[in-house]
Structure 1
Amino acid sequence: MPLFDVYPLYNVTPVKGNDVHVYDDKGTEYLDLYGGHAVISIGHSHPNYVNAVSNQVANLGFYSNAIQNPLQVELAKRLEEISDCKDYQLFLCNSGAEANENALKLASFKTNKARVIAFNNSFHGRTSAAVAATDNPSIIAPINAQQQVTFLALNDIEGVKRELEKGDVCAVIVEFIQGVGGLDQGTAEFFEQVDTLCKANNTFLIADEVQSGYGRSGKFFAFQHYKVTPEIISIAKGMGNGFPIGGVLIHPSIEAKYGLLGTTFGGNHLACAAGLAVLNTLETDNLIDNVNEISDYFISKASTIPEIKNIKGKGLMLGLEFDFEVAELRKKLIYEHHIFTGGASNKKLIRILPPLSIKKTHVDQFFEALRQAL
């Protein structure tokens, strides 16, 4: 049976990973500056992660949410402590798309409204409402297009105000640093005014932290760079360091009731063990401090290369923008220099999303390779 051919694939077959490196089936070492779409947060095969997952699967990998699971309680407690999101409630699911789907559903339930405001170049997932709020018509099927979504430009505060005052918007969903869209950001003034307008119009602000969360921006969440209080925060990717897990952080003002949300696999024992290993390692290895140190170093090195016309993003969620399309440059980096980087809907931009454990020597290796490739 052939695989359903929906992915253009590079001719590389990784079989092993260690920290910031992966190794292919021929034994070639690659520097991973993409982390499998920002998923690898604490490094490939971190011993804390391997031990936690191995020990848990040897005991109990899964049971349904119909029973007590103390690992969920422990994960929620550690997440509150490390993220500083005091008193939020946690709903666990399996992916970023599912997290955003549940976030939008919850906003609609609680406000009794249906329309969503999203932003140009946004990406929130590939499921029903999440993909409708994604600014890419080519991946929106007719069944998704029946959702009520209005797209606005980042920093268009007058547009946000006008739409919210119509009274039918349940949620404003925003990436505080856009991922697939190309690392664009709104201004602090814009984000803070959006938060104020949402609260004045019975509309939930949803912070999509699926890619930018878990320290990648230099703070635990990207929205924490601003004075805002989201009603809902969606998380995934770096949350499990490769194990499928997602979640929704829900403001304490939002009341739960039985049956409001649900999932079969979300919050299973193995996922929680992986999630706890990530949180504990972020803290013990001081990885968020490392993000800020390496980010400054990376940006200083990037500033010395004249071909780089713009440096976007924060922390270790960065974009290097050129005045030409970068597909061939990225192929050179992979095949000739053995370095993984990421692309974006902005075809002139390379995305940099390495494990948060990256060191300055790896940055030096990348820029030496980039100079040669250019």
Structure 2
Amino acid sequence: MMKNNKQQYQEAQLFTVGSLFAGIGGICTGFIQAGYKIKWANEYDQKACETYRYNYSHQLYEQDIHNVKNPKDWGYVDVITSGFPCQAFSVAGYRQGFNDSQGRGNLFFETARFIEEIQPKAYLLENVKNLAGHDNGKTLEIIKDTITKGLNYSFIPFILNSKDYGNVPQTRERIYIVGFRNEGHIVGSLNQDFNDNSSNCMSNTVSNKFKIPKPISLTRKITDIIDRSTVDKSYYYESSHKYYPELEKTMIREDTIYQWRRVYVRENKNQLCPTLTANMGTGGHNVPLVKVDNQYRKLTIQECLGLQGFDPFQFKFPNHMAKSHCYKQIGNSVVVPVIKRIALNIKYALS
């Protein structure tokens, strides 16, 4: 069917996105909801790729980006996003940083290579909060110098907690870094409000138009996400289970989430979900638990999706996908509403 002038104009106004380390598409979903067009995405994990292809139809490059000789072959995009692997900087990991034995820390420099080759109008980086203080701040300093001095993009870092910025009842702090092309002289700091720092902001720059999201009220509760109907029995602990006496003793409330911590149960008294992790489906540590109708069970896959801001009725996993893989992929993802707010503000700045 021939596109009319209005359709062609609307498509011309869409900013395009290239997503590195896309996972199951949390960052992509946030940008799509903000009105962008995903031109291509990249992910190397086989299981995550299966889930991604199950939910999205745009181009997915399933390969190690170390082996991509010419990033331009993937096509120009207005924005490059990168949730490069966080394990190298995570408190939960070995915190090896750029010296990570599996090479995950060095994947930032692959992101920088793509930015340098493609020259997008803007970029968004996402990682664990611990990246900010890793190696006494030296790691973040290297990233800043690479982006500003090496690539000539601005550097605007900020830390957001999903409970304060995404209206999602999960405590999940992440560092985000945003920057714009040809503005390498503009550098923000985590210790100051970039938008109120007139020395960094110049009225004729795109960076000045970008606003770090402000806190919003948390109106969604744990009880809005927990499924009160009967779920699959595999999620429940039977009375014969060796952990059952501990669950029965500690889990007394139905309006919060508990967490199995290897040998004991911890109650989250702030009525928020603790940070969902990639290993929450292995059964040994950080397993989120709820009490429903005097029964004790793990959070379902759909509940975990909801706590990451996905629509659990629209986002689906392939039917054959093992629960452990689903939990891992959700734990490695991002809180979609937070990404959407950042994406909207990037869009406003570019417009």
Greater relative contact order, per chain length (Cα 8 Å cut-off, separation 6+): 1
* TM-score between the two structures when normalised by the length of structure 2: 0.34
